[in-house]
Amino acid sequence: MSPAASLEYLFGLGGELRPGRKFDLDTIRVLLAELGEPHDRFAAVHVAGTNGKGSVAALIESAARAAGWRTGLYTSPHLQRLSERIQITGAEIGGEALAEATTRVRNTVERLLAQGRLPYPPAFFEVVTAVGFVAFAAARVELAVIEVGLGGRLDATNVLQPRVAVITPIGLDHEQYLGSTQAAIAAEKAGILKPGIAAAVCSPQAPEALAVIRAHAQRAAVPLFEVAAADAADAPATPLRGRHQRENAAVAARACALLDQHGFALPPAAVARGFAAVRWPGRLEKICDAPEVFLDGAHNPLAARALAAFLDDYRASHPAPILIYGSMRDKAVEEICELLFPRAQAVVLTAPRQPRALAPAALAQACGPLARRYEVAPDYPAAFAAARRLAQGVAPIFVTGSLYLVGEARDHGCGPAPAP
């Protein structure tokens, strides 16, 4: 397949949460076995959690690369390009390499289906995970940092036998799949803790989540290292904004120290260099000046609390911001809006270009009264134009809610100057 055809094939697979499809690891195991177990050809760090797992994964990968290791980074979702999900030595996978890995996986899937060894076609995330693992093996990656897609216990990435496992903060999200309590969700996330893992690290957690993680680690005989909030003060510096990123840095630093003890030399100086050089788009990322425009995918209450804390600090020396907000229908929008809208001088309500997006009119009905002032815009370009008008070149603009909206904002950029 050509690069364009490979992307067409992958996006044609549809969502991984098809009606009637049960979660299990059987399909990905059969597929990877036929591909020659590519995930066994590199060491791995496996990162689960509700929030912060992408940032922690990026920090660990950057540190390992700074220490001279040939690295892979597998994350989801992507903001603008599918190739963002698969990075090799700090760069997105190239079109030809992606096409080569995708062709091999597609041909293998078709053979397994024809032989009756798969009862139904693999889902999008299963196929992309296999593509990532094939690409890492082909590139002779030595250490890959792999972010869980959804949950952990039955996530397609949980075929790994990682060197170190990491569990970042756990909160309520995807309750229809993972459970309605922090304890239930923690049980799914802690499913990545398996016998034979050298060590595990967890972020500061709510007591009910921590109890579940401890129990899973004990049953699997995995040494568990708990990072405290106070450890953030001693973490290496990073350019990532927000108090929560200091805790993420402390968690990533502990994971790096454990890797250093278990076969991957990561000297503190290399960790510091890697952390200082890390980039993680769409998480309190500033993309414009005059006015400043920040992007942050606060798509659940835990992420909204982190953004609210940043806004409280930021407003001490800046005008109250203009907020652009859009969401998917299955998110806790009212709780998120209650946290964020009172901190803005005005809110522009819109929707990302996604079938599951919550219509701006419905969002206005549910959350408009929580804002001091709000406007409704049909799409992101219209929302950005409205926000720039309201900002008057002074107030900062924060684009938040759905990561799909953040991706559109990155595509759009700073846009033309508003009319006088």
* pLDDT above 60 for 17: no
State the pLDDT at residue 417: 56
H-state helical runs in 139-285: 175-178, 182-189, 207-220, 243-261, 268-277
β-strand pairing of 143-147 with 164-167: unpaired
Query: Long-range contact list for 309-313, CB < 8 A, 24+ apart?
Result: 309/242, 309/243, 309/244, 310/241, 310/242, 310/243, 310/284, 311/340, 311/343, 311/344, 311/398, 312/343, 313/243
Q: Is 199 helix (H, G, I), strand (E, B) or coil?
A: strand
Strands in 86-88's sheet, in edge-to-edge order, are: 91-92, 86-88, 71-74, 143-147, 43-48, 164-167, 199-202, 224-226
Q: For the chain, which domains are there?
A: 3-277 (3.40.1190.10), 283-412 (3.90.190.20)
Question: pLDDT, tens digit, for every residue of 124-151?
Answer: 999 999 999 999 999 999 999 999 998 8
Our CA dihedral for 403, 172, 200, 72, rounded to 10 degrees, sits at: -10
Burial class (CB in 10 A: 0-12, 13-18, 19+), 183: middle
pTM given for the model: 0.94
pLDDT at residue 290 in the model: 85
pLDDT score for 175: 54
Q: What is the pLDDT of residues 239-249, one digit of tens each?
A: 999 999 999 99
| pLDDT on residue 362 | 94
Please list, in sequence order, all residues whose beta carbon lies within 8 angstroms of the beta carbon of residue 262, skipping any fewer than 6 positions away: 163, 164, 198, 199
